[in-house]
A and B are shown apart, each in its own frame.
Chain A
């Protein structure tokens, strides 16, 4: 195999597939990237068996062929090459000669035969979404995923295509974020998957390269075809991301979303975020909560830790309900406020042991459980 390629395009392509490879690959071949040279393009593929990514880059292919090379070191080398023109010359014994300006590298590879192929999809359930919209939806809920491995069912984002809408849900058992979008869901294509946290991270990173993203899934795996029509750094066609899904039953999240509205206040998102952020500066690992106190047209936020001190913040709001006070983990308040982009959010509270609820006008809900102070 032999091709000429733009250094920056090559580096960009490798950067797309790099994250999949963990530092502790179980088989040596999983540390490698599969490079396949076809007509006018090369494709780069990595996989850790749970998650795989493939992208295509334009190249001047003189001789088709394939080889696998250690991706981390290769990416490191390509980034540093002195000249923008790079020649890639593979030999039958899987050795690769990389030339750029006055630099020459000879790299030992492994044959393609050992590389596990990414499963291709047939007649699974399929949907097309806007990339910008999906990334917004993912960012709106992803922070609420659990990282507690004993609750592996919660280690991902739940995609639910049902009743004429797509709902994305994430929860760690102490807070829950949900965002929904109306779309055409044919009865035969209704279904749900739990997309693992690592895949969610990669997907979010990849979703800015074009207009559309296609999703295919069945009960064991999902695949995303991410169009690259807006990309200017050599990517062509689409990026293909394959992932196993978390198998199991997602908890019934409807039951934890309060049906009734109690005290609702409208808040300036940025201002509220800043107040909570400042108050939380006095929190410690042992006393990690801020108190939110509502009185007539006033919202106060206080925090204290016994060995450091205390903080008090106040902001004017429109409120005429009863006085009430409730404590929360400050991160639970800040995470949704950071993820949202609207200037105003609604916050609903009831009493010191009932959940607080963030809402926007765009089908977004984030339920956060309070901290009960003794």
Chain B
């Protein structure tokens, strides 16, 4: 029996905008985008807006210049992850093997579903596409092939509402006429460099000798040749990967020059990120602070504790020093971000002189309960009080 195209890549079209349009259908067909107003960036734009030259990530100010009648929609907290869950839940009605790559994109493996032939697979996936549109009002593009690589390229080929099937055995022929930049790992710069050296289509790789390929791609030329042939052995992973870091950033409405104000924002981020660390039953060791100036140049500085922790208190003394180390130019800031990395789990070494830590942990547990549900904390630390006054 010949192999069946059982690997499906799904990619929601303009996902954040689609989520908003599901709630505000009157905006359908308009040039609209989700993103920060004034000083933020566009995180998702409708296809009508894209036609005017709006792309992501583009500073909102620039987007409003190229498309003056752009309707800006603010981020709706919690909406996108809710819809994403519903979207993948519907996928799981088709197969249990669902890999969530990000909030709006993932893979399905229909291998174990026992479908008889390609037409049946196509019909089932079409059915899923219709359900997503009908029940969630989310347009999703699908690519169906024998492996992840080809299905992913296929799903992005005819957005929005794309549906591209690559029959088994035609992978190389399918890829051949596509621009080399469609391959994963080939960014705009590499593509331009390859074009300059006479390589613009994926199919042209097949015509090159091994020597030429090595000159073009260096040590990874074998992988590149396999990719160009549409070969990919990666399996669909259903387990969600553990977070490698926890981070948060804030772009200010106006540039901020006052140290105390920035310090307060950074401490609030500490207060908002550590509950997530505790919720995941992890501990973190390294804290990194990033500052961005109005001209988008940025600096970062990080420090590690001697031992990983799931408490806020050990990180508070690092906030001001890290901020001072990162914020070296005498200019106001446009953005500040806090990131926790060196994530640990597993057994926790208990401390001897740690009665205070245990008390803090109990207190944190109670606060986490009270503050459940995200950013609008019911109980806050004292260091946030000034922010309220302002």
Contacts and interface: CB of A to CB of B under 8 A. Distances in A.
B346 interface: yes
A363 B296 CA distance: 64
B353 A251 contact: yes
Interface residues of A, number: 25
Contacts of B281: 374
A256 interface: yes
Given A374-B281, A374-B345, A150 B350 contact: no
A256 B353 contact: yes
Interface residues of B, number: 13
Given A148-B306, A374-B281, A369 B350 contact: yes
B102 interface: no
A371 B307 CA distance: 13
Interface string B245-282: 00000000000000000000000000000000000010
A353 interface: yes
Interface in B330-362: 344-354
A194 to B, nearest CB: 15
Residue among A150, A173, A286, A327 with the highest chain B CB neighbour number at 10 A: A173
B155 to A, nearest CB: 33
A150 B305 CA distance: 9
A interface majority secondary structure: loop
Interface string A307-331: 0000000000000000000010100
A359 B146 CA distance: 65
A372 B346 CA distance: 9
B351 A174 contact: yes
A369 B347 contact: no
A371 B345 contact: no
A90 interface: no
A175 B306 CA distance: 16
A369 B347 CA distance: 12
Contacts of A151: 306
B347 A173 contact: no
Given A148-B306, A150-B306, A372 B348 contact: yes
Nearest to B282: A374
A329 B348 CA distance: 10
Contacts of B344: 286
B358 to A, nearest CB: 10
A228 interface: no
Given A150-B306, A286-B344, A371 B350 contact: yes
A176 interface: yes
Contacts of A251: 353
A150 B314 CA distance: 12
Contacts of B350: 174, 353, 355, 369-372
A369 B346 CA distance: 16
Nearest to B305: A150
A138 B344 CA distance: 34
A373 interface: yes
Contact of A173 (B346, B348, B351): B351
A134 B346 CA distance: 40
Contacts of A353: 350
Contacts of B353: 173, 251, 256
A374 B346 contact: yes
Nearest to A257: B352
B349 A371 contact: yes
Contacts of B351: 173-174, 369
A174 B357 CA distance: 13
A289 interface: yes
Nearest to A372: B348
B347 A171 contact: no
A289 B347 contact: yes
Nearest to B344: A286
B139 to A, nearest CB: 41
Contacts of A213: none
A370 B350 CA distance: 6
A300 to B, nearest CB: 17
Given A148-B306, A150-B306, A374-B281, A369 B352 contact: yes
Contacts of B345: 374
A173 B349 CA distance: 11
A329 B350 CA distance: 10
A287 B348 contact: no
A34 interface: no
Residue among B281, B306, B351 with the highest chain A CB neighbour number at 10 A: B306
Given A148-B306, A150-B306, A373 B352 contact: no
Interface in A347-374: 353, 355, 367, 369-374
Contact of A176 (B349, B352, B354): B352
Interface in A267-292: 286-289
Nearest to A147: B306
A364 B351 CA distance: 21
B352 A374 contact: no
Contact of B352 (A150, A171, A286, A287): A171
B40 to A, nearest CB: 38
Contacts of A373: 346-347
Given A173-B353, A251-B353, A256-B353, A374 B306 contact: no
Contacts of B346: 286-287, 373-374
A251 to B, nearest CB: 5
A307 to B, nearest CB: 12
B349 A174 contact: yes
B352 A174 contact: yes
A247 to B, nearest CB: 19
Given A256-B352, A256-B353, A371 B347 contact: yes
B176 to A, nearest CB: 40
A171 B349 CA distance: 15
Contact of B348 (A176, A367, A371): A371
Nearest to A289: B347
A372 B357 CA distance: 15
Interface string A142-174: 000000101100000000000000000001011
Given A148-B306, A150-B306, A374 B347 contact: yes
Nearest to A328: B349
Given A287-B347, A288-B347, 5 more contacts: A173-B352, A174-B351, A176-B352, A369-B349, A369-B351
24 contacts: A150-B306, A173-B352, A174-B351, A176-B352, A251-B353, A256-B352, A256-B353, A287-B347, A289-B347, A329-B349, A353-B350, A355-B352, A367-B352, A369-B350, A371-B347, A371-B348, A371-B350, A372-B347, A372-B348, A372-B350, A373-B346, A374-B281, A374-B345, A374-B348
Interface of A: 148, 150-151, 171, 173-176, 251, 256, 286-289, 327, 329, 353, 355, 367, 369-374
The 3 A-B pairs with the shortest beta carbon distances in the complex, nearest first, are: A371-B347, A369-B350, A148-B306
